[in-house]
Structure 1
């Protein structure tokens, strides 16, 4: 090459497309249209490359960045040996120089890291030297492609190892010599001793710079977002995709899904082995803030947590109002120790589920259930009128021991579901059988002796008289058939047969089986918050809406004034039906008594009604007080202030003050973003203000090491520190009743098969459940050919 003819060749704005460097067949070795933001300079070895002028070729690459147009300049230097080096060119204030000083070693390393992020390469910490006091006096920081891959001779694989697929790891090292050397100064500051800026490899293009490690890091915004997602049982991958939607694309996230997963892993690992102690610490703090918060626990001989029960003030208040009938289900596991989660559930004045308390158990035996029921009874200061469970024998024994005055009833939903699974296969889809058996077991209008006759009639008709399992549930009929509860005040709750299934479905949306105990408790609180928010919505609708009347009767209006919207609509239907579907068949007078025969047009039943004018006043303008149950009224919960002499009204939680302040900040931020619409100038001004504040905060937080900041975030998330010594150890993993893999019914298996996509058979060319190997057409052809 001659000297002085061409000093700098500019490629970019001139849009030169006739210069090729490297292998002409390679797409990434073309230098031309500079409007492409993914331009990569290749490493081809063209022997016939002829360039007149100096050895340096300088290129201006115009790339689009978030801040607008930004020119990035790269200088390629060819040596006589036809090797090339790449010299990144950036703004002078972003480039290190020999003699540059930094207050700390960390500042020097971070400066070089930012320089690499801008220019398109990552950095790696290298050799260091310490003095006798342990101070680092010399530190090398290399380009991440420094050095060569070390090949290690491997032993021939054994027979057992050949079946395992080996992981193929590509090396990024290419012998790059770029580095910076930081040396300590006399005043404990550091300065740049040496700086080699030439790279032996092409630099990362603008399009892929966000994949560099220097540009991938979890900032506090990412971390707090991921922790908030963890509170609602959202995993790291879903959280990552959601965050991508907030910021407008994957390239704007600032990290990859790997960083999200790693942070989630560290969050779950925090407090490992101490989560039981941390949970109890949180519960003790809650009780200090409110005397109405109740909890108790038990341990084994080795101090492992085995039993836990808790109920907050709102739950105790709900029980005081709606605790006449309680559903107790202990079949849902929701934590990494597989402890049995046993919530106490009822129904509020909107016929929605409401939680009274919950327990965690390590065993499903009578003693464990007895302990839990005793704590529940002590917490609520009274027993429920009725408790609904499944057919677990341990529960049955515990209820008889602890709650002898409480009526025990089996959950009809479990039994009805089993009927469809236990009867012969030909009856499972028999609509006539289902209609007749449902009419018998669900009717609350028949007497017990009538039920027995109708039950025998159905079993005789479908030849089920000798069915063993049906005989067992018939023997236990007093525990579940509505005909045996006619004289018991159930408040209309006996039809809530799928309550336990609703509970499992509800908590399943919030709880995670992989959670530790602290995470489980936070997710449980999140579920209760959602449940209570839904209750507030219904209370608001009841208070602000006026349903349309169906009759001119004054007590219909009175029902609207006292009952919630849901209960009023049910009552209104009964009032309207009594007016428009019931008719009097006959009347007979006997002094002050008057007997009526009334035909119920809906149920096709005839009822005998006796009216005594000396005892009952028929001129009613309002529903008599004795017929009004407080649990269904609008003010059912407001009437409860104390439970067992303890104030259970709502109290402000000082621990939640910080979270509320952050929530208001998020709300204001999104409100401001929504106001900008499409005004680019306002958006840029707002972004600049946020950036200035962030940079000012960064200078304050520099004194805190990264691990300390991360630990502080974890402590705020868990609301407790990891104890130096845990006096209460985590539970021993539980092996619950039943098989490790759930046994599925034939009906469930058939439903799963029906949901599978059909396969295309190559023989009959139809989409079916078979393929060419077992196609009837194929088997027919094979038979004919054989004959």
Structure 2
């Protein structure tokens, strides 16, 4: 242990009758018991000492560790009968004495606990005596190695128990007689007896942080772990992160076991009442803001079965960007297997934005109908289009609740299934994938062209009689882009990455093992991150001035009105109108002027018609209809007709910089941002943390400044400890849990947690052959002993082995 600055005597594990002491040139001698820690003790004399009989011999020794920085004094007493005792030496004010008085029993116990932590031993609570009023009048507190381990006769194990491996725990008791006796004397407690001699070596400085007295979750640990829990970080990762903050495991103040135990208690808090606690939080949110909307439903036994909620910011986002909504109910993100169904849209930066969410216990038409009814009532209008998977219950619910909304299937789900349903030999056929993608993804062809091209691909690859492809072809009006060319903003969610993006986003924050209260906090954390990213993009848009590519005035106008992301897309179209588009012909018919334009990208020719009376521009590519943004073909006419600014009719508010600021009310309710009084305390703590780390960063390498700051913090902590010592530990812990969950555990829960269910998407799914093949290809190859080749098989399923087995059998 450590490197002393003096000559060393090592007291360790060798059980010898004599003790020899020498200087630094002599061999180290070892005396101790088998479970004691090694101590390095300095001594400068060379006189040899042997204990053969007579009086006790006492040595007052100094332990030096870590280059002499930490010192510990211990007096070891050797008796003639091979016995020895250890007498710790510490500062007088840290050592108990007979007659010492304490205001409370807790103070006396804690004083002895701190004394043990300094000297190198743990304590255990022992015998106590109470008076007839239940007040403790006598209390023993022992060294943790007091007593002996008693062997208890065990019953023979049953058949069910024989398969379980028993825990083999070593005993730490060695018959130590050290203790303190506290006696009540009216309003105080005093030390009646104090035995300070120990029968075992004390813990060395290097391992003192493993003592129970030095291992506890203080409020700093607890708050840190709770903050990590909000972002779905487990106790072990939290422990390693905390270690980095404090500079090492020995400085943490506890072990990973304490972190895991606290996390377990945090999860167990409110067990069986989390549904009621969640609803209590939601009612409080609605009291603070009328714009916060939620509703729920229960079964006949008062179990929560359905829940929908949307906060003011989400409702405001829907008012600005709710043209097209993606509704995906394929997530299970809580311990009850309730389906998490978020309503997703696209904001003015082409990023996903959340409008609200629901939790459902069942995936049927009635459940989806209930959820869509609440969503429609909350938002005060239906979306123009809703995108879902091919669930029949969802399809029925949309027809029932949103009859005016165009229903479209998510292409990501369908394209993924195509790769799984086609014959095996086509799954890796690049030609097939290229041709089928060109047909189903093209939004520049009309429906009749799609049918011809689809038939052509199926004929080429002999898929005309494929039953599943026939089914999705029959449903083509629900998912093929060619059938949505004339529908406003139908191209917003045409990319395959949307579902993957939403799934990945919420997957980073939500945990399937969470109860409902934890789930809601993690959901809020996800929304906070989403909205922070939106704020970053808004800030970049407001503070940056992109470089112009052309001298055209409507390019500068586009930069002034659109967000940065949308402007860059529009700028590319404007540049294309100047440098790649060619006017093939112009024909006039009264107020209408028809242009034929080739954009240099697509082989086909696009027709653009300009009506001078109405000031309208219509292009056959229909990009403005599909996306609400102008195409390069129309910009050719802007340039040709000397347009200086984009006409108002061709500017959709949803793509502009001020899309959100224009929305203040939804259904007559103010949905502008409001301060949350419940978050005031959290904000104050956040500012405190920020200020603390800022101060730490100022110190650099000035040790004096660091020590002064540490001393000031320690003095304040000790002053707070004296104020809060009247609060029991459990009370403080419960108060922390209540603050974390923002709710107390109700004495009686009127709303019970959901009954865990098995949903369509739960359980281990059956993997497709293509997916299995991909997973196998990612595994490292192994050397087969039979075939001596680098393959994915082993000796048991090697072709050579099976051939040898067959021949031997014959």
1:675-722 per-position Cα deviation (integer Å, ceiling 9, x unaligned):
101111110111000000000000000111111111111111111111
The alpha carbon displacement at 1:26 in A equals: 17
The alpha carbon displacement at 1:60 in A equals: 6.0
- What SS is found at the alignment partner of 1:110? helix
CA distance in 2, matches of 1:220, 1:77: 41
Q: Which moves more between the two structures, 549-558 or 688-697?
A: 549-558
The alpha carbon displacement at 1:760 in A equals: 3.9
CA distance in 2, matches of 1:687, 1:679: 12
- What SS is found at the alignment partner of 1:288? helix
1:734-758 per-position Cα deviation (integer Å, ceiling 9, x unaligned):
2212562112222222232233333
CA distance in 1, matches of 2:58, 2:590: 118
1:563-590 per-position Cα deviation (integer Å, ceiling 9, x unaligned):
1111111111112222222212233445
Q: Which moves more between the two structures, 548-557 or 216-225?
A: 548-557
> After superposition, where does 1:61-140 map in structure 2 within 5 Å?
69-140=69-140
CA distance in 2, matches of 1:421, 1:258: 45
- Check whether the contact 1:303–1:727 (CA below 8 A) recurs between aligned residues: yes
The alpha carbon displacement at 1:362 in A equals: 1.0
The alpha carbon displacement at 1:72 in A equals: 1.2
- Check whether the contact 2:179–2:196 (CA below 8 A) recurs between aligned residues: yes
Q: Which moves more between the two structures, 59-68 or 585-594?
A: 59-68
CA distance in 1, matches of 2:159, 2:75: 53
Q: Which moves more between the two structures, 81-90 or 218-227?
A: 81-90
- Check whether the contact 1:240–1:260 (CA below 8 A) recurs between aligned residues: yes
1:494-524 per-position Cα deviation (integer Å, ceiling 9, x unaligned):
4244322211111111111111111111111
- Check whether the contact 1:37–1:206 (CA below 8 A) recurs between aligned residues: no
> After superposition, where does 1:319-334 map in structure 2 within 5 Å?
319-334=318-333
- Check whether the contact 1:275–1:730 (CA below 8 A) recurs between aligned residues: yes
The alpha carbon displacement at 1:16 in A equals: 18
The alpha carbon displacement at 1:39 in A equals: 2.5
CA distance in 2, matches of 1:2, 1:535: 54
CA distance in 2, matches of 1:26, 1:268: 58
1:171-202 per-position Cα deviation (integer Å, ceiling 9, x unaligned):
111111111111x3432311111111111111
CA distance in 2, matches of 1:324, 1:360: 23
1:604-637 per-position Cα deviation (integer Å, ceiling 9, x unaligned):
111233444454x923101111011100001000
- Check whether the contact 2:4–2:40 (CA below 8 A) recurs between aligned residues: no
- What SS is found at the alignment partner of 2:39? coil
Change in Cα spacing, 1:606 to 1:5, as seen in structure 2 (3 Å) is: closer
Q: Which moves more between the two structures, 499-508 or 303-312?
A: 499-508
The alpha carbon displacement at 1:234 in A equals: 0.5
The alpha carbon displacement at 1:57 in A equals: 5.2
Change in Cα spacing, 1:326 to 1:28, as seen in structure 2 (3 Å) is: farther
The alpha carbon displacement at 1:119 in A equals: 1.1
Change in Cα spacing, 1:6 to 1:305, as seen in structure 2 (3 Å) is: closer
CA distance in 1, matches of 2:83, 2:19: 18
Change in Cα spacing, 1:714 to 1:200, as seen in structure 2 (3 Å) is: same
1:461-500 per-position Cα deviation (integer Å, ceiling 9, x unaligned):
0001111111111111000001101110016414244322
Q: Which moves more between the two structures, 280-289 or 69-78?
A: 69-78
CA distance in 1, matches of 2:8, 2:271: 61
Residue equivalent to 2:41: 41
Q: Which moves more between the two structures, 228-237 or 93-102?
A: 93-102
- What SS is found at the alignment partner of 1:30? coil
The alpha carbon displacement at 1:771 in A equals: 3.5
The alpha carbon displacement at 1:99 in A equals: 1.3
- What SS is found at the alignment partner of 1:246? helix
The alpha carbon displacement at 1:160 in A equals: 4.3
CA distance in 1, matches of 2:28, 2:19: 13
- Check whether the contact 2:584–2:597 (CA below 8 A) recurs between aligned residues: yes
The alpha carbon displacement at 1:205 in A equals: 1.1
- Check whether the contact 2:10–2:31 (CA below 8 A) recurs between aligned residues: no
Change in Cα spacing, 1:482 to 1:162, as seen in structure 2 (3 Å) is: same
- Check whether the contact 1:21–1:44 (CA below 8 A) recurs between aligned residues: no
Equivalent pairs, count? 785
CA distance in 1, matches of 2:260, 2:35: 35
- Check whether the contact 1:35–1:62 (CA below 8 A) recurs between aligned residues: no
Change in Cα spacing, 1:355 to 1:10, as seen in structure 2 (3 Å) is: closer
Q: Which moves more between the two structures, 331-340 or 81-90?
A: 81-90
- Check whether the contact 1:758–1:768 (CA below 8 A) recurs between aligned residues: yes
The structure 2 residue matched to 1:739, chosen from 762, 768, 773, is 762
The alpha carbon displacement at 1:724 in A equals: 1.3
The alpha carbon displacement at 1:4 in A equals: 29
Q: Which moves more between the two structures, 236-245 or 583-592?
A: 583-592
- Unaligned segments of structure 2, at least 5 residues: 615-639
- Check whether the contact 1:2–1:53 (CA below 8 A) recurs between aligned residues: no
Change in Cα spacing, 1:8 to 1:651, as seen in structure 2 (3 Å) is: closer
- Check whether the contact 2:12–2:36 (CA below 8 A) recurs between aligned residues: no
Change in Cα spacing, 1:31 to 1:551, as seen in structure 2 (3 Å) is: farther
Change in Cα spacing, 1:601 to 1:229, as seen in structure 2 (3 Å) is: same
Change in Cα spacing, 1:623 to 1:267, as seen in structure 2 (3 Å) is: same
- Check whether the contact 1:34–1:62 (CA below 8 A) recurs between aligned residues: no
- Check whether the contact 2:3–2:67 (CA below 8 A) recurs between aligned residues: no
> After superposition, where does 1:166-177 map in structure 2 within 5 Å?
166-177=166-177
Change in Cα spacing, 1:201 to 1:571, as seen in structure 2 (3 Å) is: same
Change in Cα spacing, 1:282 to 1:212, as seen in structure 2 (3 Å) is: same
CA distance in 2, matches of 1:644, 1:483: 35
Change in Cα spacing, 1:700 to 1:719, as seen in structure 2 (3 Å) is: same
The alpha carbon displacement at 1:62 in A equals: 5.3
- What SS is found at the alignment partner of 1:262? helix
CA distance in 2, matches of 1:583, 1:281: 64
The alpha carbon displacement at 1:63 in A equals: 5.4
- Check whether the contact 1:38–1:206 (CA below 8 A) recurs between aligned residues: no
The alpha carbon displacement at 1:68 in A equals: 8.0
- What SS is found at the alignment partner of 1:631? helix
The alpha carbon displacement at 1:733 in A equals: 1.1
1:352-396 per-position Cα deviation (integer Å, ceiling 9, x unaligned):
000000111111111111111001000000000000000011110
Change in Cα spacing, 1:333 to 1:35, as seen in structure 2 (3 Å) is: closer
TM-score, normalised with respect to structure 1: 0.92
The alpha carbon displacement at 1:558 in A equals: 0.8
The alpha carbon displacement at 1:70 in A equals: 3.7
- Unaligned segments of structure 1, at least 5 residues: none
Q: Which moves more between the two structures, 92-101 or 19-28?
A: 19-28
The alpha carbon displacement at 1:769 in A equals: 2.0
- Check whether the contact 1:233–1:510 (CA below 8 A) recurs between aligned residues: yes
The alpha carbon displacement at 1:85 in A equals: 1.6
CA distance in 2, matches of 1:771, 1:47: 69
- Check whether the contact 2:87–2:198 (CA below 8 A) recurs between aligned residues: yes
The alpha carbon displacement at 1:22 in A equals: 15
CA distance in 2, matches of 1:64, 1:458: 83
Q: Which moves more between the two structures, 530-539 or 756-765?
A: 756-765
Q: Which moves more between the two structures, 396-405 or 44-53?
A: 44-53
Change in Cα spacing, 1:122 to 1:450, as seen in structure 2 (3 Å) is: same
Change in Cα spacing, 1:781 to 1:90, as seen in structure 2 (3 Å) is: same
The alpha carbon displacement at 1:12 in A equals: 15
- Check whether the contact 1:37–1:63 (CA below 8 A) recurs between aligned residues: no
1:419-448 per-position Cα deviation (integer Å, ceiling 9, x unaligned):
111111111111111111111111111111
1:506-560 per-position Cα deviation (integer Å, ceiling 9, x unaligned):
1111111111111111111110000000000000111111112222211111111
CA distance in 1, matches of 2:60, 2:34: 8
The alpha carbon displacement at 1:315 in A equals: 0.3
- Check whether the contact 1:36–1:63 (CA below 8 A) recurs between aligned residues: no
CA distance in 2, matches of 1:677, 1:2: 28
- What SS is found at the alignment partner of 1:464? coil
Change in Cα spacing, 1:5 to 1:134, as seen in structure 2 (3 Å) is: same
Q: Which moves more between the two structures, 776-785 or 126-135?
A: 776-785
Change in Cα spacing, 1:638 to 1:231, as seen in structure 2 (3 Å) is: same
1:529 aligns with 2:528: yes
- What SS is found at the alignment partner of 1:74? strand
- Check whether the contact 1:331–1:342 (CA below 8 A) recurs between aligned residues: yes
1:135-162 per-position Cα deviation (integer Å, ceiling 9, x unaligned):
1111111111111111122344445443
Change in Cα spacing, 1:414 to 1:773, as seen in structure 2 (3 Å) is: closer
- Check whether the contact 2:787–2:800 (CA below 8 A) recurs between aligned residues: yes
Residue equivalent to 2:244: 245
- Check whether the contact 1:267–1:714 (CA below 8 A) recurs between aligned residues: yes
Change in Cα spacing, 1:5 to 1:380, as seen in structure 2 (3 Å) is: closer
TM-score, normalised with respect to structure 2: 0.90
Change in Cα spacing, 1:665 to 1:17, as seen in structure 2 (3 Å) is: farther
The alpha carbon displacement at 1:785 in A equals: 9.3
Q: Which moves more between the two structures, 229-238 or 65-74?
A: 65-74
- What SS is found at the alignment partner of 1:19? coil
